[in-house]
C-alpha cells in the first residue's frame, strides 16, 4: 500500500539526484568482498524508486557508474556490469507495472553488450510511461555530457541550422541527457563525502546538497523521508535575497 509523503506536496522536490556511495565500505565493515557491497547496493534501488513514485517526486537520477569507474579493478567492473544486467532483467516488469519511464544518462556505446542490451530494452519498453522519470547514469560524466552538448550545437551551426547568437542556457540544456526535465532540486550523497564527483554539473546549479553518513546499502525509505524533511526546511534563494 502506498504510504503518505513525509512532507507537504507543495514542498516536494521535483528532481532528486543521488550519488550512491559507500558500497565498498559497507562490505568491508562486514568482512565481505566489495562486489557484495554493490549487490546490496542494487537491492536498495527498489524501495527508493517506489517511494519516489508514491510520494510525488517527478524525477529521480541515480549515479550508477561513472566514466572514471572503468579504472577500478577488472573483477569489480565486471561484477558491476553483471549486476546492472541482472537488475534490468529482473526489475523491468516491476518498473513497467509502476509506470516508471527509464532513461539512460551516458554513452551506451561504451558499455559491454550484455548490460547495454538490457538497459536499452528497458528504456524502449518504458518510453510511453507517464509516471516517475528514472534516470540511470551509466558510463556517465558531467563534463563529457557538457562537451557532447557543445558538439551537438556546433554541428547544427556548421550545417547552417543554428546561429551562435541563438545559443542560450535553455537551448544548451536541451542538448543534455536531461533535456525537458527540471533542474535538480535535491542532491543527496551517501557515504559522507562532500564532493559532486562529476555528476550533473550543469543541472545542480541551485540544488540543495545533503551529504549523509550512511552507506548506500543502508539507505532506505526512512532515510529518504529524513532527507526530504531536511530539504523542506531549507530556504532556497536562487541567488536572490
Ligand atoms: C560507490 O560505492 C558506488 C558505485 C561506484 C556504484 C553504485 C552502483 C550501484 C549501487 C549498483 C549499480 C547498479 C545498477 C542496477 C544500475 P563505492 O564502491 O565507491 O564505495 P566506497 O566509497 O565505500 O568504496
Q: What is the number of other CB atoms lying within 10 angstroms of the CB of residue 48?
A: 23
Examine residue 2 and state whether it is found in any structural domain, yes or no. no
| Ligand 1 atom with least separation from CA of 138 | 16
CA 168 – CA 164 distance, rounded (Å): 9
| Ligand 1 atom with least separation from CA of 26 | 23
Examine residue 225 and state whether it is found in any structural domain, yes or no. yes
CA 32 – CA 34 distance, rounded (Å): 6
Examine residue 129 and state whether it is found in any structural domain, yes or no. yes
* Known catalytic membership, residue 135: no
Q: How far is the CA of 239 from the centre of ligand 1 (A)?
A: 33
Examine residue 177 and state whether it is found in any structural domain, yes or no. no
Tell the residue nearest (CA) to atom 7 of ligand 1: 64
Q: How far is the CA of 219 from the centre of ligand 1 (A)?
A: 13
Catalytic hit among 69, 107, 129, 218 = 69
Q: How far is the CA of 199 from the centre of ligand 1 (A)?
A: 14
Each residue's pLDDT expressed in tens, for the chain with a length of 241 residues: 678 999 999 999 999 999 999 999 999 999 999 999 999 999 999 999 999 999 999 999 999 999 999 999 999 999 999 999 999 999 999 999 999 999 999 999 999 999 999 999 999 999 999 999 999 999 999 999 999 999 999 999 999 999 999 999 999 999 999 999 999 999 999 999 999 999 999 999 999 999 999 999 999 999 999 999 999 999 988 888 8
CA 101 – CA 4 distance, rounded (Å): 22
pLDDT of residue 73: 94
| Ligand 1 atom with least separation from CA of 66 | 5
Block residue for cell numbers 573483477: 75
Examine residue 162 and state whether it is found in any structural domain, yes or no. no
Examine residue 170 and state whether it is found in any structural domain, yes or no. no
Block residue for cell numbers 537551448: 171
CATH number at residue 25: 3.40.1180.10
Range of the domain at 106: 10-140+183-232
Examine residue 148 and state whether it is found in any structural domain, yes or no. no
What grid cell was written down for 197?
Answer: 564527483
Examine residue 168 and state whether it is found in any structural domain, yes or no. no
* Known catalytic membership, residue 69: yes
Number of domains within the chain: 1
**pTM for the full predicted model:** 0.96
Q: How far is the CA of 10 from the centre of ligand 1 (A)?
A: 32
Amino acid at each position: 500500500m502506498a504510504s503518505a509523503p513525509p512532507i507537504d506536496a507543495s514542498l516536494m522536490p521535483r528532481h532528486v539526484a543521488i550519488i550512491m556511495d559507500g558500497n565498498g565500505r559497507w562490505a568491508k565493515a562486514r568482512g565481505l568482498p566489495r562486489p557484495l557491497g554493490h549487490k546490496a547496493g542494487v537491492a536498495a534501488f527498489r524501495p527508493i524508486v517506489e517511494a519516489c513514485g508514491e510520494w510525488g517526486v517527478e524525477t529521480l537520477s541515480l549515479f550508477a557508474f561513472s566514466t572514471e569507474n572503468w579504472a577500478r579493478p577488472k573483477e569489480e567492473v565486471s561484477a558491476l556490469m553483471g549486476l546492472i544486467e541482472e537488475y534490468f532483467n529482473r526489475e523491468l516488469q516491476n518498473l513497467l507495472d509502476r509506470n516508471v519511464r527509464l532513461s539512460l544518462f551516458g554513452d551506451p556505446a561504451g558499455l559491454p553488450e550484455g548490460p547495454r542490451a538490457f538497459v536499452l530494452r528497458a528504456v524502449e519498453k518504458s518510453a510511453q510511461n507517464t509516471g516517475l522519470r528514472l534516470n540511470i547514469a551509466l558510463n556517465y560524466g558531467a563534463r563529457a555530457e557538457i562537451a557532447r552538448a557543445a558538439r551537438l550545437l556546433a554541428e547544427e551551426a556548421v550545417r547552417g541550422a543554428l546561429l551562435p547568437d541563438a545559443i542560450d542556457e535553455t537551448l544548451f540544456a536541451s542538448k543534455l541527457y536531461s533535456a525537458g526535465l527540471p533542474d535538480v532540486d535535491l542532491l543527496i550523497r551517501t557515504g559522507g563525502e562532500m564532493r559532486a564527483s562529476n555528476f550533473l554539473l550543469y543541472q545542480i546549479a541551485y540544488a540543495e546538497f545533503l551529504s549523509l553518513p550512511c552507506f548506500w546499502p543502508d539507505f532506505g525509505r526512512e532515510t529518504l523521508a529524513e532527507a526530504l524533511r531536511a530539504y523542506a526546511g531549507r530556504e532556497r534563494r536562487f541567488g536572490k535575497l
